[in-house]
């Protein structure tokens, strides 16, 4: 992986990057179905103990530096937390490390809100069909 | 019309609502005291998408056949994403003689409450 220089990244930060660093739930769910993104829950362990998504991987933010080998360099890494503030820290770190990373703007609470009732059923059906 | 439903309807008033629902805060306290049990009444495809890692999972349509799985010695707190289905489930279980409330703010409110260091507030 080719690491980025933080100062150089900030100097080149523009409107395109401002959009590119984010991903909204509908696009994430679609790309995940297509196997094009790796989804990482970066919450603390006790948060994951309380509740979790039925897909994606859990790597706590403070373990991320030591667990980069679990990330697929050929996929976009989508970082997520309850809202988005910690996910953005993770996204920035991974970007500096040379990964293509985006953070989930809707957060895990947004995913939980979107995937209810028939929407949850339809999404899980398509995930199963892919496998 | 059954007596239960008639009496139930007469009790639909602001002063009676605290008998029917419990806040996330109130639930966490009761759960930690061992006096309440959570029942996630979402259907299977919903609990496959995301899971609360405590309490029971009994889809609302299965409740009539699975009443024997509910604790008799605890307050039952039924929950769905928000409160539409859980309110109906609460009414049903109430009609079956259970001590039951629905979770105000739903599971979404509960998991929002359990974020960051506050996730430790529930003793698992």
Select from A46, A58, A62 the residue whose CB has the most chain B CBs within 10 Å, as the one to mutate to test that interface: A46
The mean per-residue pLDDT over the stretch A7-13 comes to 96
Q: What is the CATH number of domain B3-121?
A: 3.40.250.10
Q: Is B107 helix (H, G, I), strand (E, B) or coil?
A: helix
Q: Is residue A92 part of a domain?
A: yes
**Complex ipTM:** 0.84
Selecting among B70, B80, B110, B122, the annotated active-site residue is: B80
Cα–Cα distance list, B15 to A61, A102, A116, B20, B36 (Å): 45, 48, 31, 10, 22
Q: What is the pLDDT of residue A129?
A: 83
pLDDT, tens digit, for every residue of A67-113? 999 999 999 999 999 999 999 999 999 999 999 999 999 999 999 99
Three-class SS state of B49: helix
What pLDDT score was predicted for residue B61?
96
Mutate to test the interface with A, among B32, B88, B115, B121 (most CBs of A within 10 A): B115
pLDDT above 80 (res A119): yes
Cβ within 8 Å, pair A109-B48: no
CATH number, domain with residue A108: 3.40.250.10
A18 has a pLDDT exceeding 80 = yes
Answer yes or no: do A117 and B117 touch at CB < 8 A: no
Number of structural domains found in chain A = 1
Range of the domain at A91: 37-130
Which of A52, A108, A111 has the CB atom closest to B51's CB atom? Answer: A52
Residue-level pLDDT at A66: 98
- B80 among known catalytic residues: yes
The pLDDT, as a whole number, for residue A31 is: 97
pLDDT reading at A131 higher than 80: no
Tally of CB atoms within 10 A around A107: 21
Considering only A23-32, B7-16, B61-70, B115-124, which range has the smallest mean pLDDT? B7-16
Where do the domains of chain B lie? 3-121
Question: What integer pLDDT is reported at residue B119 of this predicted model?
Answer: 95
Interchain contact, A116 vs B117, CB within 8 Å? no
Please say if the pLDDT value at position B1 is more than 70.
no
Residue B79 C-alpha, separation from nearest chain A C-alpha, in angstroms:
13
Window 70-109 of A, Cβ < 8 Å to B:
82-83, 108-109
Judged against a pLDDT cut of 70, whether residue B70 lies above it is answered with yes
Which letter does DSSP use for residue B45 in this model?
A: H
Q: How much is the pLDDT for B81?
A: 95
Asked if residue A3 belongs to a domain, the reply is: no
DSSP chain A: --PPPHHHHHHT--HHHHHHTEE-HHHHHHHHHTT-EEEEE-S-HHHHHHEEESSSEE--GGGGGG-GGGS-TTSEEEEE-SSSHHHHHHHHHHHHTT--EEEETTHHHHHHHHS-HHHHHHHHHHHHHH-
Q: What is the pLDDT of residue A62?
A: 97
Please check whether residue A58 lies inside any domain of the structure.
yes
Half-sphere exposure of A58 (CA within 13 A, CB side): 13
Q: State pLDDT tens for residues B82-116.
A: 999 999 999 999 999 999 999 999 999 999 999 99
Q: Mapping DSSP to helix (H, G, I), strand (E, B) and coil, where does residue B52 land?
A: strand
DSSP track, B69-106: GS-SSSEEEEE-SSSHHHHHHHHHHHHTT--EEEETTH
Cα angle A77, A73, A19 (rounded to 5 degrees) comes to: 40
CB contact (8 A) between residue B50 and residue A53: yes
Determine the residue of chain A that is closest to B28 in CA distance. Answer: A50
pLDDT at res. A107: 97
- Give the pLDDT of residue B17: 86
Rounded CA separation A24/A4 (Å): 25
- The sheet that has B75-79: what strands, in order across it? B21-22, B100-103, B75-79, B36-40, B56-57
Give chain A's length.
131
| pLDDT tens per residue across span A32-64 | 999 999 999 999 999 999 999 999 999 999 999
CA–CA min distance A3, chain B (Å): 30
* pLDDT confidence of residue B101: 98
């Amino acid at each position: 992986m080719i690491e980025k220089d933080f100062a150089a990244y900030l100097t080149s930060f523009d409107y395109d990057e401002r959009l590119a660093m984010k991903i909204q739930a509908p696009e994430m769910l679609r790309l995940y179905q297509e196997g094009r993104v790796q989804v990482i829950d970066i919450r603390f362990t006790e948060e994951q103990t309380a509740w979790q998504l039925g897909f994606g991987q859990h790597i706590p933010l403070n373990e991320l530096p030591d667990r980069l080998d679990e990330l697929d360099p050929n996929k976009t890494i989508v970082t997520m937390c309850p809202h988005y503030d910690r996910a953005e820290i993770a996204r920035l770190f991974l970007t500096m490390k040379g990964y293509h990373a985006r953070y989930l703007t809707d957060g895990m609470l947004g995913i939980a809100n979107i995937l209810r009732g028939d929407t949850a059923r339809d999404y899980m059906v398509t995930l199963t069909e892919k496998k | 019309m059954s007596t239960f439903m008639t009496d139930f309807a007469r009790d639909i008033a602001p002063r009676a609502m605290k008998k029917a629902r419990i806040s996330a805060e109130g639930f966490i306290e009761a759960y930690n005291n061992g006096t309440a049990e959570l029942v996630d009444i979402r259907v299977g495809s919903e609990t496959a998408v995301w899971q609360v890692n405590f309490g029971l999972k009994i889809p609302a349509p299965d409740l009539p056949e699975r009443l024997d799985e509910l604790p008799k010695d605890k307050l039952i707190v039924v929950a769905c994403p928000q409160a539409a289905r859980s309110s109906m489930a609460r009414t049903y279980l109430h009609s079956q003689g259970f001590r039951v409330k629905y979770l105000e703010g739903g599971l979404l409110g509960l998991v929002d409450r359990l974020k960051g260091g506050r996730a430790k507030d529930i003793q698992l």
